[in-house]
Amino acid sequence: MFKINENYLKLPGSYLFSTIAKKVSAYTEANPGSDIIRLGIGDVTQPLAPAVISAMHKAVDEMSDAATFHGYAPDLGYAFLRDAIAAHDYKARGCEISSDEIFVSDGAKSDSANIQEIFGQENRIAVCDPVYPVYVDSNVMSGRTGEYHPETETWSNVIYMPCTMENHFVPEFPKETPDLIYLCLPNNPTGTTITKPKLQEWVDYANKIGAVIIYDAAYEAYISEPDVAHSIYECEGARTCAIELKSFSKNAGFTGVRLGYTVVPKDLACGEVSLHDLWARRHGTKFNGAPYIVQKAGEAVYSKEGKQQLKEQVAYYMKNASAIKAGLQDAGYTVFGGVNAPYIWLKTPQGMTSWAFFDYLLEQANVVGTPGSGFGPSGEGYFRLTAFGSYENTLRALERIKKL
Ligand code: PLP
């Protein structure tokens, strides 16, 4: 008789975004015709850049001819894309990462969830709190997180590293010793990040205690401050302790197309065993998750026109971020993020809980955001707004919030 993986049952039932969707649909049913503005979910809204679209059209045409048709993609991804990534994302920044250390994938979500599979069950994970929920959820499903305590919304075997206004959202080395450290920088949801010297301290710490840092750089394209690293491999010694996850979703609008990559340096090893070799056995190997057409689109992201067009797209979203930040500050809110990331993180007013503020904003301003508590216990009392809406809607939402 088959058995299920009971760890799946441990995940608390209702997912953050489905609860939000239910609340919004209940509100619109009760208030038909209300003009809801969504500044909640982290999906992009601008269309794919012309350089990307034209590369995709060309690749589609190639698929129609037996002479240029492409079947299964190579297991690491096509060399044309890995070479472009190695040149532009690493060599140009002085990082020593070669194209055969890059594993192309269908996005950072699957890699960030699956990467834990190459590590033993007994590893203890540490996460920034609050953070993108996939890291903890995937470790819950693999049975690594212990028991859930609903009163504190924490897992007994997870080391939480609070990032709050008190420590300027900079994670501190935990008291207990972790084996796997998830760092998401710039951070979703707080929109904050740390300086390169601080990141170097994390690399030194990981090397010292023999831990692996899983570094999610999905929002790297939004970094505007010069003392912030674009890759963890800008830090000395990162090749022996860090795996880096990247996505084409937020820098190039590929959320509906799906493309990302993971870097596992060949120097990263557990005794004699190379983690690079282990990740080469991951699910999907030999049938790379990203199709030829999408990998060609990814290559175009690094073309001269592609780079220019995407710089403009990031600037568009960051104009929204600046407007939200300034508008909320004018209205008396305490606001963080929005400088190196498309997320604005605000302290809820008058000690309101995150969900109470969600209801208040929905009912009084018809604006939808995301309650901070959905990203971890230290997110309680905070709220996330995203810069991914249209500029017009962003301004309209701000006008409404200012009137409250
Ligand atoms: N990593 C972080 C921190 C994210 O916020 C997201 C999406 O919101 C992802 C990864 C997912 O990226 P992808 O669309 O490439 O799966």
Distance (Å) from CA 260 to ligand 1 centroid:
9
* pLDDT score for 14: 66
Q: pLDDT digit of tens for each residue in the chain (404 aa)?
A: 999 999 999 987 667 888 999 999 999 999 999 999 999 878 999 999 999 999 999 999 999 999 999 999 999 999 999 999 999 999 999 999 999 999 999 999 999 999 999 999 999 999 999 999 999 999 999 999 999 999 999 999 999 999 999 999 999 999 999 999 999 999 999 999 999 999 999 999 999 999 999 999 999 999 999 999 999 999 999 999 999 999 999 999 999 999 999 999 999 999 999 999 999 999 766 677 899 999 999 999 999 999 999 999 999 999 999 999 999 999 999 999 999 999 999 999 999 999 999 999 999 999 999 999 999 999 999 999 999 999 999 999 999 999 99
- Give pLDDT, residue 288: 77
Nearest atom, ligand 1, residue 249 CA: 14
pLDDT in tens, 51-90: 999 999 999 999 999 999 999 999 999 999 999 999 999 9
Mutate to test the pocket of ligand 1, among 48, 192, 247 (most ligand atoms within 8 A of CB): 247
From ligand 1's centre to the CA of 402, what distance in Å?
A: 31
C-alpha to C-alpha distance for 84 and 99, rounded to whole angstroms: 8
pTM over 0.95, yes/no: yes
Q: Please report the pLDDT score of residue 289 as a whole number.
A: 84
Give the Å distance between the CA of 211 and the centre of ligand 1. 23
Nearest alpha carbon, ligand 1 atom 1? 218
The best mutation among 85, 132, 184 to test binding of ligand 1, ranked by most ligand atoms within 8 Å of the C-beta, falls on 132
Give buried/exposed letters for 258-276 (b at 16+ CB in 10 A, else e): bbbbbbbbeebeeeeebbb
Distance 42 CA to ligand 1 centre (A): 9
Pocket (CB within 6 angstroms of ligand 1): 42, 107-109, 112, 132, 184, 188, 216, 218, 247, 249, 255, 260
Mutate to test the pocket of ligand 1, among 112, 129, 193, 248 (most ligand atoms within 8 A of CB): 112
Which atom from ligand 1 is nearest to the alpha carbon of 255?
14
Q: Choose the residue to mutate in 250, 301, 370, 388 for probing ligand 1, maximizing ligand atoms within 8 Å of C-beta.
A: 250
pLDDT the model gives residue 13: 66
- Show the domains of the chain with their CATH numbers: 12-47+305-402 (3.90.1150.10), 53-303 (3.40.640.10)
pLDDT value of residue 15? 75
| Best CA proximity match to 81, nearest among 224, 238, 254, 222 | 254
